[in-house]
Amino acid sequence: MTTGIAITAAEVISPAGRGIAPLWRAMATGKTCVRQRDSLPWPNAVIDPGLLAWPRGGPWADVEKYAGQATRWALAAALPVIERAGRAEPSDATRCGTVIAVGWSPDELDDALPFLTESGRNGRGLPEVLYDEAPAFSSIRAIPSTTGFFVSMASGFQGSHVVLNGDAVVGGMGAVALASRLIASDELDRVLVVGASTASSAGLAARHREEPFGSRARAGHGPFDVGRAGAFPGQAAAALMIERASTAQERDICPSAELLACETFCARTRAAAAYAVIASFEHQLAPDVWWAHGAGAPLTDSEECASFGLYAGMAPVTSSKGTIGLATECSALVDLALAVEALHRRSMPPTALLDRIDPMLGAVDPVLRVPRNVAHTRTALVTSLGPDPIAASAGAALLGRWEK
């Protein structure tokens, strides 16, 4: 079943580097970017700040001080996607939109505290300090709608933007589902979906209490492994341009993949949410390959394989989390970009840190140690689970290889 909705451009910024190719190479060679750092009590994967240059010229210099970390990352991912997909004509601007999947970053103010303290020692009163410096450091930098403003600014303010956070995000899959609905309903022709996950220490501490993070980033402790003991925090930003295929072809843009289906659900448990997603895919054929959430947490991997595994069957499955960790707010966007790449390369890279497949996961077929040739692949399933085991969410997308 075709939808006429396509992905026409994608970009990923990850601990492996800028772009999809560096991340693919890291996965193909079994490399992990997860390691112990002083900044967090758990092994984690971080983005190189040098990859995130601020745009030059025009009004950008005047507004840079209002941009928080998540905004910078989202903008860095969005700009090349806007360039590759091409800008809409002014007459079509109202048929465009932006959906942002980004979490709150309460740690933004941490950077300001030493500065404010030093300013106070120099005899400046607090009201004066706040008046002069608050625009650069205030919590406005962490408000998700601020990210939407900057990304919309990069696209020339074409259409309006919507921000998703909380359980609706599902790693960014909720944003993709919303984008596909806006296009299928004929409300819009193209939607830019952007997500960023900065892995703030406050948010990670709360997630650790719900489902503990892993403590050893070594072989035998990765996704699907019998010795897995928890996910590893990660950072990432990703952007996808999703649009009506016919609209893209009118601009001589060849779609990268077709979005055959995409759905998310919230339920009392992750398993219940996942089963609801599967039920919505009843008219779709089983996928040829499966790009799983594969967090590396004992409960999460078990729930995912027990639910989505029923639909995926014995399709070869892999996960990016052993390579770059779990970037909660945009992990599904990263995996969607990788799945598109897998359809083009007709290959599936292995899951990093996987050594012995857990037999309790059932009839699943993780890619182990070396890439696997999947020459006849036409469809790819991408799945995502929310971070909370209760009051939970799950989502999935089915991609089809675009036949020119």
**HSE value, Cβ hemisphere, 13 Å, CA-based, for 276:** 16
Which tokens in the block code for residue 60? 């950008």
Yes or no: say if 398 and 380 are a contact pair by the CB < 8 Å rule: yes
Rounded to 10 degrees, what is the CA torsion of 298, 387, 231, 301? 30
d(Cα 100, Cα 162) in Å, to the nearest integer?
6
> Across 110-114, 211-215, 369-373, which has the greatest mean pLDDT?
369-373
d(Cα 224, Cα 300) in Å, to the nearest integer?
10
Residue 354, C-beta contacts closer than 8 angstroms, at least 6 positions apart: 219, 222, 223, 224, 225, 322, 366, 368, 369
Answer whether residue 359 shows pLDDT above 50.
yes
Residue 1, C-beta contacts closer than 8 angstroms, at least 6 positions apart: 260, 261, 283, 284
**Which of these CATH numbers, 3.40.50.300, 3.40.47.10, 3.20.20.70, 1.10.3720.10, describes 5-104+143-401?**
3.40.47.10
Task: Output the pLDDT for position 288.
Answer: 97
Instruction: Give me the helix-helix angle, 69-85 and 144-154, nearest 10°.
Output: 30
Tell me the H-state helices in 29-158.
60-63, 69-85, 112-121, 126-137, 144-154
- Mean pLDDT along residues 275-295: 94
Q: Which has the closest alpha carbon to 257: 82, 87, 2? A: 2
Q: Which has the closest alpha carbon to 332: 253, 263, 404, 401? A: 263
Answer whether residue 289 shows pLDDT above 70.
yes
pLDDT in tens, 90-108: 667 778 888 887 654 444 4
Q: Measured between alpha carbons, how far is residue 173 from residues 62, 154, 263, 338, 376 in Å?
A: 33, 23, 8, 14, 26
- Using only C-alpha atoms, the chain has a radius of gyration, in whole angstroms, of 21
Band of the pLDDT at 342, cuts 50, 70, 90?
Answer: very high
With 0-12 / 13-18 / 19 or more C-beta atoms within 10 angstroms meaning exposed / middle / buried, residue 55 is middle
Instruction: Give me the helix-helix angle, 331-345 and 173-184, nearest 10°.
Output: 70
Yes or no: say if 389 and 367 are a contact pair by the CB < 8 Å rule: no
Task: Output the pLDDT for position 125.
Answer: 60
What are the φ and ψ backbone dihedral angles of 37, each rounded to 5 degrees?
Answer: -135, 155
Q: Does the reported pTM lie above 0.75?
A: yes
pLDDT in tens, 2-48: 789 999 999 999 999 999 999 999 999 999 999 998 878 999 999 99
Band of the pLDDT at 140, cuts 50, 70, 90?
Answer: very low
Of the given ranges (159-163, 362-366, 370-374, 386-390), which has the lowest mean pLDDT? 386-390
Answer whether residue 52 shows pLDDT above 80.
yes
Give the residue extent of every domain in the chain.
5-104+143-401
Tell me the one-letter amino acid at 402.
W
Yes or no: say if 364 and 233 are a contact pair by the CB < 8 Å rule: no
Yes or no: say if 200 and 109 are a contact pair by the CB < 8 Å rule: no
Task: Output the pLDDT for position 303.
Answer: 95
Yes or no: say if 257 and 340 are a contact pair by the CB < 8 Å rule: yes
Task: Output the pLDDT for position 137.
Answer: 43
Task: Output the pLDDT for position 90.
Answer: 60
Answer whether residue 239 shows pLDDT above 80.
yes
Yes or no: say if 239 and 187 are a contact pair by the CB < 8 Å rule: no
Residue 130, C-beta contacts closer than 8 angstroms, at least 6 positions apart: none
